[in-house]
Amino acid sequence: MTDTTADLDLASGVSAFESKHFTTAQRLLSPLSDLGHPEALFRMAIMAQNGLGMVRNEANAYNWMRAAAEQGHGLAQHGLGFMYMQGECVAQNGGEAVKWFTLAAAQGLAGSQTTLGMMYEQGIGVEKDPDEAQRWYKLAGF
């Protein structure tokens, strides 16, 4: 697959995903996820996690989300944090959730910053720390 073909397939796959044409998105993004493309991995993870355009598969959802997150994909880091926080597709682990939300928050994702604020406020995966909670909320714009 040439870079031009891959770019076109990615753009078309993302467009199909956004338009809720998940079967088409899966067909276009699957080969790119096999090549390790982070955006394709992230979109494939969402589809596998929710059974969109494919049979729901928690193991694939986790593996694809983690692979994208490990490449620095912010939304995948956020998604992986939620998987760990909720115990969805993987065993619940507050410490791992904090790790992945922190990586996403460092990229400026307000949702991750807000979630970290809540985790510090409630002591989920970390010791309760009202000051740290407020710091995260303030970064998120609250």
Contact 130, 110 (CB under 8 A): no
Task: Look up residue 13 and give its two tokens.
Answer: 């796959």
Report the C-alpha gap between 6 and 104 in whole angstroms. 26
pLDDT digits (tens, 9 = 90+) for 66-95: 999 999 999 999 999 999 999 999 999 999
Q: What is the mean pLDDT of the chain?
A: 96
Which residues lie closer than 8 Å to 11 by C-beta, 6 or more apart? Answer: none
Which residues lie closer than 8 Å to 98 by C-beta, 6 or more apart? Answer: 81, 116, 119, 125, 126
Domain map of the chain by residue range?
Answer: 1-71, 93-142
Q: Is the pTM of this model over 0.95?
A: no
pLDDT digits (tens, 9 = 90+) for 39-74: 999 999 999 999 999 999 999 999 999 999 999 999
Mean pLDDT of 99-106: 98
Task: Look up residue 128 and give its two tokens.
Answer: 């309760």
